């Protein structure tokens, strides 16, 4: 059995940072464990190809939520029944039943985690979010205190000011592909909202273009930024295709991590100093619960002995609920599956991309950005827009012939809170995910208002001329019809957080140093520690958490 000073559980956005920073000290041995495979694929490195990493991709966990009670019911053929006919013969038939719609939760299953399959938008959230964390008692997490870690991580090619870094591993730039439809979106939106060229700077509010985590026309995932340049360090071991079962304790001290290799063989890794969980808002609470750390009543259901009753493990799940409007358009400057695109546009663009790393396939597709207020009285933006140069229906899982464009609107700080629990104690089993979307009436009302504001832009020139073919036109004068559409189609925009929340109250899991309460040498460092959801995409904040956690750990063991 091999032992390491630090064992990092999860090779996603924060895990890659931790592996890099902790192994920078040659006196420390580090083991990074990732359940997914290596990230060597053109589907990952080519920015626009993330659209093809759907629920059948080996790089995507493609989880489903529990049926969401606030979502509309839909028909399903999943239920099989046995029917006996008049001759006594038994036949198996699929019975059509109705149940509430399930949400879709894509998560990265490879080195780099979700930063290897996401749309690469570089968004930090709002200054208010981090000051709010600090106001909850989390000393060291105010905006002024986390800004240095954002800057430490970042190398921004386009913006050089007091809010941005220039020498970090994570390359941030403007997508090199220019698209006229993004210009139409900005011109239309600018009739209602100001233009903002740096939504990560002094002021978040406004309309613009997303900066992305790319470098030289290729994706710059957390693995590209932090892991690949240092993967040959002699004090760093990287295990892929390795499922983490549980942490084993001696008293309150973690001593071993039990894993399964790709052949399903069990093996153990020794822990000399610390275990750091970086398996995300779904994975980290699962590992804790399988290890006997969590709510006693939940562990008992699955025959797991409780070592430490920490009731907040898996609770406090928060996510951005989102609605997408889809409009078909014949222009081959937009993504989609049409004869002209498939046989004329794409072949030329593929050649251009692989020869020059320029053109359509450098696009992150969701290029247009918006951080807006639902009403002027709001202190900060509470709605976010993603304008997409392609038709996106049901997360791209529903095939549509033709080209088109879409726009998302999401609630930045929803009131609805859910939980992640276990389906079983089997480490290969999927988590039981219940975001409890739209359970708070305020979320429904705000999303109705957000839909109206989004459509106000979509129905304004010069964009209006290109959005006439709306796949789901809704009467904007009827809140009831808008709510009906929301309940039938709204879903995540992929930002689950909060299930191992930081704090000192009874439902918190880690303290401000990210140490799990009652445990001697276990920390959590990923999006699950966020006490509240931040106002924007969560990849950059998760990398910041990895940077800050690495700094705290390095100081303690210097």
Checking if the pLDDT of 326 tops 80, the result is yes
Checking if the pLDDT of 84 tops 70, the result is no
Checking if the pLDDT of 221 tops 90, the result is yes
Cα 184 to its chain centre, rounded Å, is 28
Count the neighbouring beta carbons within 10 Å of the beta carbon of residue 448: 19
CATH code, 176-209+321-411+439-489: 3.30.560.10
Largest Cα span, the chain: 82
Q: Which CATH class is domain 3-58+106-164+220-317+496-556?
A: alpha beta
**Chain-wide mean pLDDT for the chain?**
96
pLDDT at 14: 98
pLDDT at 176: 87
Residues 433-452: tens digit of each pLDDT: 999 999 999 999 999 999 99
Residues 86-98: tens digit of each pLDDT: 666 777 766 677 8
Question: Does residue 290 sit in helix, strand or coil?
Answer: helix
* DSSP 8-class letter at 443: H
pTM of the model: 0.95
Can you spell out the DSSP letters for 28-82? --EEEE-SSB----HHHHSGGGGGG--TT-TTB--EEEEEPTTSPEEEEEEEEEE
Q: For the chain, give every domain's residue range.
A: 3-58+106-164+220-317+496-556, 176-209+321-411+439-489
495 is annotated as an active-site residue? yes
Percent above pLDDT 90 for the chain: 93
pLDDT at 1: 87
Token pair listed for 413: 């700080």
Residues 411-424: tens digit of each pLDDT: 999 999 999 999 99
Checking if the pLDDT of 367 tops 70, the result is yes
- Are the CB atoms for 501 and 507 separated by under 8 Å? yes
Task: List the one residue out of 223, 131, 126, 210 whose CA is nearest residue 170.
Answer: 223
Looking at 68-221, which runs of residues are DSSP E strands?
73-84, 90-100, 102-105, 154-156, 170-174, 206-209, 211-212, 214-215, 218-219
Q: How far apart are CA 492 and CA 510, in angstroms?
A: 26
Query: Out of 132, 155, 408, 495, which one is annotated catalytic?
Result: 495
Contacts 24+ apart (CB under 8 A), 297-305: 298/421, 298/422, 301/422, 302/422, 302/424, 302/425, 303/425, 304/425
pLDDT at 88: 65
155: left (phi over 0), alpha (psi -120 to 50) or beta: beta
Task: List the one residue out of 313, 492, 527 whose CA is nearest residue 416.
Answer: 492
Residues 139-164: tens digit of each pLDDT: 999 999 999 999 999 999 999 999 99
Percent above pLDDT 70 for the chain: 97
Checking if the pLDDT of 80 tops 80, the result is no
Token pair listed for 408: 């998302």
Residues 368-380: tens digit of each pLDDT: 999 999 999 999 9
Cα 452 to its chain centre, rounded Å, is 26
């Amino acid at each position: 059995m091999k032992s390491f000073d630090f064992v990092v559980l999860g090779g996603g956005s924060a895990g890659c940072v931790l592996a890099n920073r902790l192994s920078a000290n040659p006196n420390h041995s580090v083991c990074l464990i990732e359940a997914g495979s290596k990230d060597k694929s053109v589907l990952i490195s080519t920015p626009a190809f993330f659209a093809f990493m759907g629920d059948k991709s080996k790089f995507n966990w493609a989880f489903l939520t529990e049926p969401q009670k606030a979502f509309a019911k839909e028909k399903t053929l999943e239920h099989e029944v046995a029917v006996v006919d008049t001759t006594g013969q038994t036949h198996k038939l699929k019975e059509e039943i109705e149940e509430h719609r399930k949400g879709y939760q894509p998560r990265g299953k490879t080195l780099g985690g979700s930063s290897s399959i996401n749309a690469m938008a570089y968004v930090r959230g709002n200054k208010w979010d981090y000051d709010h964390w600090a106001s909850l008692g989390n000393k060291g997490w105010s905006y002024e205190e986390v800004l240095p870690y954002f800057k430490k991580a970042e190398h921004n090619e386009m913006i050089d000011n007091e809010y941005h870094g220039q020498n970090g591993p994570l390359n941030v730039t403007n997508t090199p592909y220019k698209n006229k439809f993004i210009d139409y979106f900005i011109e239309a939106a600018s009739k209602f909202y100001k233009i903002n060229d740096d939504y990560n700077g002094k002021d978040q509010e406004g309309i613009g273009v997303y900066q992305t985590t790319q470098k030289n026309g290729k994706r710059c995932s957390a693995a590209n930024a932090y892991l690949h340049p240092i993967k040959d360090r002699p004090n760093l071991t990287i295990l892929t295709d390795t499922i983490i079962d549980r942490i084993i304790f001696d008293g309150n001290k973690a001593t071993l991590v039990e894993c399964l290799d790709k052949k399903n063989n069990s093996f153990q890794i020794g822990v000399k100093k610390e275990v750091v969980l970086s398996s995300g808002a779904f994975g980290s609470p699962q590992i804790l619960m399988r290890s006997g750390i969590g709510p006693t009543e939940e562990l008992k259901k699955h025959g797991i002995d409780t070592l430490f009753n920490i009731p907040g493990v898996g609770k406090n799940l928060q996510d951005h609920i989102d609605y997408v409007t889809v409009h078909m358009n014949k222009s081959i400057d937009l993504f989609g599956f049409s004869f002209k695109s498939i046989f004329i546009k794409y072949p030329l663009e593929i050649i251009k991309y692989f020869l020059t790393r320029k053109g359509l396939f450098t696009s992150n597709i969701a290029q247009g950005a918006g951080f807006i207020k639902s009403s002027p009285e709001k202190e900060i933006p509470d709605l976010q827009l993603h304008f997409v140069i392609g038709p996106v229906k049901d997360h791209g899982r529903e095939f549509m012939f033709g080209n088109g464009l879409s726009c998302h609107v999401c609630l930045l700080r929803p009131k609805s809170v859910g939980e992640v629990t276990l389906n079983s104690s089997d480490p290969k089993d999927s988590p039981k995910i219940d975001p409890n979307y739209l359970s708070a009436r305020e979320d429904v009302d705000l999303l109705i208002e957000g839909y109206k504001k989004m459509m106000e832009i979509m129905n304004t020139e010069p964009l209006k001329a290109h959005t006439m073919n709306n796949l789901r036109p809704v009467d904007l004068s009827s809140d009831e019809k808008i709510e009906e559409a929301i309940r039938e189609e709204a879903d995540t925009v992929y930002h689950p957080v909060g299930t191992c929340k930081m704090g000192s109250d009874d439902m918190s899991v880690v303290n401000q140093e990210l140490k799990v309460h009652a445990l001697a040498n276990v920390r959590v460092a990923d999006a699950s520690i966020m006490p509240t959801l931040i106002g924007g995409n969560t990849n950059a904040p998760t990398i910041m958490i990895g940077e800050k956690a690495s700094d705290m750990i390095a100081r303690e063991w210097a």
